[in-house]
Structure 1
Amino acid sequence: MKKKKLLLTTALVGTMAFGATIPTSLAHDALGSDVNKGEERIVFSNEDLKTLESSLLKGRKNVGNFYEAAAVQIQELEGVQNNTADVYAHNGYAYLGTHTANGGNGGVRVFDLKDPSNPVEIAVFAHDVPYTWQEKVIVKSVNTPHFKGDLAAVSVQQTSRNNSSRPDSVGGVLLYDVTDPTDPQKLGFYQLDRRITGTHELYLTTQGNRALVLASSPYADYYTHGENEDFQIIDVSDPSNPEKLWGSDPRELEEISEKFNGYHWDAPDGHTRPVFNHSVITDNNGQYAYVSMWDLGTVIFDIQDPENPVYLGRTEYRDDQKGAAHSAALARGGNILIETREVSNPVGDGYEDAYGYTRILDIKDKTNPVLLSEFTTELTYDIPETSQGRTTFAKTVHDPKVHGNTLYLSYYSGGVIMVDITNPNNPTEIGRYTPESANVWGVFVDRNYVLASDMGQGLKVLARGNKVVNNGKGR
């Protein structure tokens, strides 16, 4: 079924069918639902946070001595209280992206974590493109012929795509010098066609003295009739002049028809499945890219030559299983793939009844990923009998991170769930952190602490230590 070692090209399809109507079979994860998603519950102020019950934190094994060291909301920006999206940490600073609450344009917030029990917001940047939101930020130390220092790559999405009354709104990738995190400096902007909502997620990696951004821009192929790709590799070695190197065309795969319209895939199992690029990561050396292509699975490329990537393989699904490959993480030196599937509509004709859950795969042979196990929780099958309130992001898994043999999952209303993957054939929950009214979007694992970004409550810091925790609760 798969083409092994297939070299993809950037050939574009000039004319193709472009269906504007979403088939009813795609009621799950329909076009556009991913972009402005997540039940945006109340956005709490710092004063509001004081009224919440202490967060439930329980664990055993290596997560048994975690405690909530801090919980702090991001500051208002020009009188507006934004909400948070993903979180990243670099050299003792946390970087929080922001979502769409109260109009968006919240930028990236920088917190000094020298004292993890007292995070201090010290800067905001990447909020200069009007009517946009900044979900994802990656920061790396970079040394190229054009730039040496800490580089931040930020995803930018329009809050209203291609809106004629907002001609200055556009999506893409912003690049900032954050060598001095208190004074971020804008370097460049990789700007997308306004027909594309923008770049939703991205990854920043290096290859020697070269810096690359791998960008995920959902529905770019569909919205531009194949003129642009959902997944692009961009050379940012000179951050003031980002340059596209390559874009992925799914039609080069054996199982994708040349008539593919960029979203609706007539899969071999008889389902019409949604296909778009949601996110991407690489291994630590920037040799392989793991591209989350929703119902096409996690698609693996050899990117050692980033102008000419080589397709290796992809993950696949049972006929009754919605794909929804949302995000990925690696374990065991890159031989184990963690795939989170974000399914917010748990029912569908011909599919199992379940919210999104996690899959663990052996990828020693990257041309042939092998499913080892699946990890579910009590939320996975907690489905109302009636349709009212059934579709919800609150009960699906979101993002994965791995530290050693522990998998950390952001889980919306479930908070952060910690899983022992010492035996990847038998993942076992060993800890859970669930703030009251939790809506946890992102998680990031550092050697000394775990960070969580709650959409309504801001930054949470979990630290290791011997703090006394009463009845499993503590702050």
Structure 2
Amino acid sequence: MNKKNQVIVKSIVAGALVFTILTPTGFAHDAFEGGQKGEGIVFDHDAIEQLASPVEEGGKNVKHLHEAAAVQLAEKDGVQNNTADVYAHKGFAYVGTHTANGANGGVRVFDLKDPSNPEEVAVFADEIPYTWQEKVIVKTVNTKEFKGDLAIVSLQQTSRNNANRPDSRGGMLLYDVSDPYNPEQLGFYELDRTITGTHELYLTTQGNRAIALLSNPYADYYTGGVERDFQIIDVSDPANPEKIWEFDPRELEEVAEDFNGYHWDADDGHTRPVFNHSVITDNNGHYAYVSMWDLGTVIFDIRDPENAQYLGRTEYRDDQKGAAHSAALARGGTILIETREVANPHGEGYESAYGYTRIFDIKDKSNPVLLSEFTTELTFDFSAPVNTFAKTVHDPKVHGNTLYLSYYSGGVLAVDITDPSNPEEIGRYTPDQGNVWGVFVDRNYVLASDMGQGLKVLQRNNGNNNNNNKGSRPLNH
């Protein structure tokens, strides 16, 4: 690890809010812990972990953000599903669903014409049984074969390769959502049933070509090398998606000989879990940023997507769990935000800390340079039982010089990254019994998907903030 180029700035900050103890009833993420030699797969799609205390409560109006609306998902066939990620496009919110109450909640479409009163207007991607639809990306596409708004949806089986569920499949679903009230299925990129499915994905365009990037955890392991963890799919013709390139982390020369099953025997003496959890691209679709857990955020040049090239990756201190979960970009793609989902704050040879955020300079993509690490009071609070997702960061989004982080029970944090070497929390939205999975910035508001409470619309305060902290008090440091 190249420590000499790293400048680590620990930012332990807090906005105006209340910190109390609660125990929510919502369900959290999949289990992503492990990493000791001899353990099984550490990415368990079937596991449903319950959040544990402590959880914060506070007013709905806090510095920088206030709640304009909170809308629960409509029941489907008498079942109340819970939310996963959230995305917005042309005034509509697209909310994925997780596994609670049997899954098959599909993607929910909300009309945001009145942000204070979002209206659920459609459900799609729910036709394949025993699956859940975590991630949806929507973009306007203009290719020879398709012109309109294209949605791609991740599809995961609730029980991998289950003989009692022969109709269950994983992969990517593709829909025409040019009319969001009436989504129309166009295609299905299907993975082998031995693979749980596509966990997260991304959609980009390159001229008149549309490209999807898929994260298929343990695909290589489950299929004996037939499929790969990271795949690039040409979706220019959404009815006929075509795989054009794929990659598995065990292909990297620098780590290949040290793989043990699906773990990596790293030079620091730790046996580290490695799998593809998530992927994004820059706005031009030139580079892919792949979150490969303890291998870090792996960067690829995808300008020639049939011949993508590995450029570099982020690395970790010897005492630091990796858990690269998601990524975002700032400053025109020269700054990388990496969030790390660590639910177990302890471990032999590791620092005691829940997951927190790291910020890198990536002007040289072959050599990411660590600028800072952003932590909160949750990161080092072990007053409640460990192994909880309540206190780890989850997803990042960037708007200008503001970084927005979803933080499960911590809600949504707003962080000023004008100086990326010194990030500073400037606001926080923390609903009672909160369990915020995803965050997305759209026009004049911020969307949050609360697993137990549905879609939240948060408006950014402009002007008089006299009442923004009603019901809240500052933290004691």
Q: CA RMSD in A?
A: 2.1
The answer to whether 1:58 aligns with 2:54 is: no
Distance 2:149 2:260 in 1: 39
Task: State the match for 1:44 in structure 2.
Answer: none
How far the C-alpha of 1:23 sits from its partner, in A, is 6.2
In 1, Cα distance between equivalents of 2:48 and 2:336: 25
CA distance in 1 between counterparts of 2:153 and 2:103 reads 14
Spell out the pairing of 1:27-426 with structure 2 (5 A cutoff).
31-33=42-44, 36-39=47-50, 55-59=59-63, 63=64, 66-258=65-257, 260=259, 263-384=262-383, 389-426=385-422
Q: Which shifted more, 233-242 or 375-384?
A: 375-384
Answer yes or no: is the 8 Å Cα contact 1:57–1:434 preserved in 2: no
Alpha-carbon separation, structure 2, partners of 1:342 and 1:26? 22
Counting aligned pairs with the same residue, the percent is 75
Q: CA deviation at 1:473?
A: 5.2
Q: Which has the higher contact order (CA 8 A, sep 6+)?
A: 2
Q: Classify the secondary structure of the residue corresponding to 1:251.
A: helix
Per the alignment, residue 459 of structure 2 pairs with 463
With over 3 angstroms needed to count, the CA separation of the structure-2 counterparts of 1:376 and 1:212, relative to structure 1, is same
Check 1:262–1:292 CA distance in 2 against 1; reply closer, same or farther (3 A cut).
farther
The structure-2 alpha-carbon separation of the partners of 1:470 and 1:442, relative to structure 1 and needing over 3 Å to count, comes to closer
Secondary structure, counterpart of 1:397 in structure 2: coil
Instruction: Spell out, residue by residue over 1:343-399, the C-alpha distance to the aligned partner (whole angstroms, 9 max, x if none).
Output: 0011111110110000000000000000000000000011148xxx31011100000
Task: Name the CA shift for 1:79/1:307 in 2 (closer, same or farther; >3 Å).
Answer: same
* 1:412 positional shift: 0.1
Partner AA of 2:43 in structure 1? G
For the 8 Å contact 1:57–1:431, the answer to whether it is kept is: no
CA distance in 1 between counterparts of 2:35 and 2:118 reads 47
5+ residue gaps, structure 1, are 3-21, 42-52
Relative to the length of structure 1, the TM-score reads 0.88
* Count of aligned pairs between the two proteins: 436
Q: Which amino acid aligns with 1:106?
A: G
In 2: Cα distance, 1:166 partner to 1:458 partner: 29
Helix, strand or coil at the partner of 1:153: strand
- 2-structure distance, mates of 1:24, 1:338: 27
Unaligned runs of 5+ in 2: 3-33, 473-477
Deviation at 1:34, TM superposition (A): 6.0
Match for 2:133: what amino acid?
Q
Q: In the aligned structure 2, how far is the partner of 1:417 from the partner of 1:158?
A: 31
The TM-score with structure 2 as length reference comes to: 0.87
Q: Could you say which residue in structure 2 is the equivalent of 1:10? A: none
Secondary structure (helix, strand or coil) at the match of 1:355 reads: coil
Offset of 1:247 from its aligned partner?
Answer: 0.6
For residues 323 and 26 of structure 1, do their structure 2 counterparts lie closer, same or farther at Cα, with a shift above 3 Å needed? farther
- Please list the CA deviations of residues 419-472 of structure 1 after superposition, one character each: whole Å capped at 9, or x if unmatched: 000011100000000000000000000121100000000000012456974643
For 1:473 and 1:447, the matched residues in 2 are separated by 28
SS of equivalent to 2:259:
coil
